[in-house]
Amino acid sequence: MSDATDPWLIVGLGNPGPDYAANRHNVGFMVADLLATRIGGKFKRAQKAQAQVVEGRMGPPGPASRRVILVKPMSYMNLSGGPVTALRDFYKVPTAHVVAVHDELDVDYGMLRLKLGGGDNGHNGLKSMTKAMGPDYHRVRFGIGRPPGRMQVADFVLKDFSSTERKELAFLVDRAADSVECLLAEGLERAQSAYNS
């Protein structure tokens, strides 16, 4: 069981290295970077896992403030579960307080869907996390839409956002970060009604 004093593990999913930085598949890293800026932290290499972490507090000062550990796994997407589970155990975070922020093919570009639990929908990062710790964690699904024409899914997610998409990207990443803060402060139902589209 979790309670209000338990910390939260916010996991931005992506691939490490400059070649992947602007890919659609790395939007989780983008949201994590923005959240780190908001709490005034810088990512550092984790001692206990192949990941970068920032620790801090999110939300208004006082009892509504939440202790958070922001995580960017450095293991590549399909091995994300190992570092995430190691950090969940190290920080004693209940699985229900783990939030994965990730790209989602079956949601239109820029739309958000927040949920608790469910399948992985073919997403290798979620597949790895679910295999390592079960499905009962929160997801912030950032829509990237489906590939055009006959483009393979793997090619599409590992391409940078298009110039048209980039015009809105900063705003959309900002909104996704807002949804994470709302989830922690006000709970899933409130965050869903405010941000699910």
Which run of H or of E encompasses 177? helix 163-186
CA–CA distance from 129 to each of 28, 95, 101 (Å)?
14, 11, 12
Q: Is 109 exposed, middle or buried (0-12, 13-18, 19+ CB in 10 A)?
A: middle
Residue 138: strand pairing partners: 99, 116
25 is catalytic: yes
Q: Which of 25, 97, 102, 138 is catalytic?
A: 25
CA–CA distance from 176 to each of 82, 100, 101, 133, 135 (Å)?
25, 12, 9, 24, 21
- Active-site annotation, residues: 25
